Amino acid sequence: MKKTTLLVLAVTFAGYLFIGGGVFHVLEAPQEQKIRDKTFKVHKDQNELFERLFDHDCFDNHTNNATDDPDRLLGQDDVTVLVRRVKEHLDESLRNLTWETPGNSTNTTQPVVRLKHVPTMVLSQRQLEDIIHTVWTASESGLHPFSDDADSSPPHWDFLPSVTFSMTVVTTIGYGAHTPQTTGGRVFVIFYALLGIPLTAAFLSGLAGVMSDVARRFTDAILRWNPKCTPATASRIAWAFCLVVGTGVFFVLPAWVVHFVEKWSFLDSVYFMFVSLSTIGFGDFVAGTEKQIYWEGYRIMMKVWIVVGLAFLATIFDLVSQAIKKVEEKMDGGTAEDGEEKGEDNLGQDVGDTEEQSDCNNKKEQNRHSKDVAMGGRVAPTARPRHGRRRPRVPLIMIVDNPATGRQARQHVWQM
């Protein structure tokens, strides 16, 4: 592929991703914002309930902000006041609380209990179902279920995340961590993928061609450096070197970056890179979805890594496929050569049988003629062929294609 064509494909591919990202952002961002607002409201209502429960004179100023620290220690009197506010059924919970001996950091000697162990929420069945549904909807849309206004996973339908989603569509990775929730977004995915997937295939094919060209140039360099090396050996060395370098650039290095940014184990990071580059796309690990603020350069870098890595892995898969094909051709070649040798033996046998039959017929004709002369009768002139003695049927050799093996084979036909 020419460099100009590859450059045009690259620009078209990038522009297509940005167009898709803009459309998905316009279609899906409002719906996502509704889900986020509803999830944040659940946590806000819970915090307000805690504020009402702790609004009492016996709690000091530090305890009024106890919801900021679930591990804050409460005194026995504080717990008693709190339990009165949450109805009679908490009396049973008081007897089941796990009391602890205060440490040296506290000024009290009374047993204490952690706030997170005190049952302070009283919900109706309807309220509980609403909370469960809200959390489930948030999880389905890719929002961390424990998100609130101050601490949440980043929106997935902002412009750059929408560009990332467009890339997963046209590359057929399809993590499935978050999907279009609107009818317009789902319809647009269909038409966007119909044009985007062939465009991506052409672009990745061009990138794979560039990588193969690099390997060929490296092979030529090896042959110039060591003229005694055979072309086959030089090609194997070049591809082995490219395989090692490509594995480091497109698997090990990005996996290390993901391990550092996402706080995943290194093995999980390598697993994520392979699942992404092979377009398996399970979606159990997706970069950029944790509850933290991401550097935009990290997002852009991951997009470039994945797109170029797709071409690299496609080149490796193509090499494996060619190696398997060569082995199959060698196996079929041995069978075809045996068949050709057998055909040539049969051909020689057929020629010999034909000549033998012709000589036998000539001898019979001469004996019959001699017998007629000896009897003294007139011998009618025998009709001779117009062009002399009749030629025997001779087989001719034809080179034909054998569709079963994909090779040429010898066959013979009879000339009349």
SS3 state of residue 155: coil
Q: How confident is the model at residue 343 (pLDDT cuts 50, 70, 90)?
A: low
Q: pLDDT at residue 388 above 50?
A: no
Task: Give the integer Cα–Cα distance in Å for 270 and 178.
Answer: 22
> Residue 411's pLDDT is what?
46
Least confident of 171-180, 365-374, 384-393: 384-393
pLDDT bucket at 361, cuts 50 / 70 / 90: low
Decide which of 69 and 159 is more confident.
159
Q: How confident is the model at residue 40 (pLDDT cuts 50, 70, 90)?
A: confident
Interatomic CA distance for residues 196 and 93, integer angstroms: 59
Most confident of 108-112, 149-153, 227-231, 337-341: 227-231
The answer on pLDDT for 185 being more than 60 is yes
> Would you state the torsion angle of the CA atoms of residues 148, 153, 156, 160, taken in this order, to the nearest 10 degrees?
120
Instruction: Name the band, by pLDDT with cuts 50, 70 and 90, for residue 398.
Output: very low
Please list, in sequence order, all residues whose beta carbon lies within 8 angstroms of the beta carbon of residue 407, skipping any fewer than 6 positions away.
Answer: 332, 333, 336, 401
What's the mean pLDDT in 248-276?
Answer: 94
Alpha-carbon distances, residue 84 vs 1, 57, 79 (angstroms): 79, 14, 9
Q: Which of 363, 345, 364 is nearest to 353 (CA)?
A: 345
Pairing assessment for the beta strands 73-74 and 113-114 based on DSSP bridges: antiparallel
d(CA 357, CA 12): 75
**DSSP assignment string, 210-227:** HHHHHHHHHHHHHHHH-T
> pTM for the full model?
0.61
Q: What percent of the chain has a predicted confidence (pLDDT) above 90? A: 24
Mean per-residue pLDDT for 35-43?
83
Are the beta carbons of 275 and 282 closer than 8 angstroms?
A: yes
- Closest among 283, 276, 352 to 307, alpha carbons compared: 276
Q: How far apart are CA 107 and CA 335, in angstroms?
A: 92
C-beta separation of 96 from 1 below 8 A: no
pLDDT reading at 155 higher than 90: no
Q: What is the DSSP string of 171-233?
A: TT----SS---SHHHHHHHHHHHHHHHHHHHHHHHHHHHHHHHHHHHHHHHHHHH-TTS-HHH
Distance CA 115, CA 68 (A): 11
| Most trustworthy range by pLDDT among 102-111, 173-182, 247-256, 310-319 | 247-256
- What is the per-residue pLDDT for 256? 96
Three-class secondary structure of residue 415 per DSSP: strand
How many residues comprise the chain? Answer: 416
The span from the CA of 41 to the CA of 124, in Å, is 17
Q: Per CATH, the architecture of 204-325 is what? A: Orthogonal Bundle (1.10)
Domain residue spans in the chain? 30-153, 204-325
Model confidence at 213: pLDDT above 80:
yes
List helix spans (H) across 226-295.
Answer: 231-247, 253-262, 266-277
pLDDT band at 9 (very low <50, low <70, confident <90, very high): confident
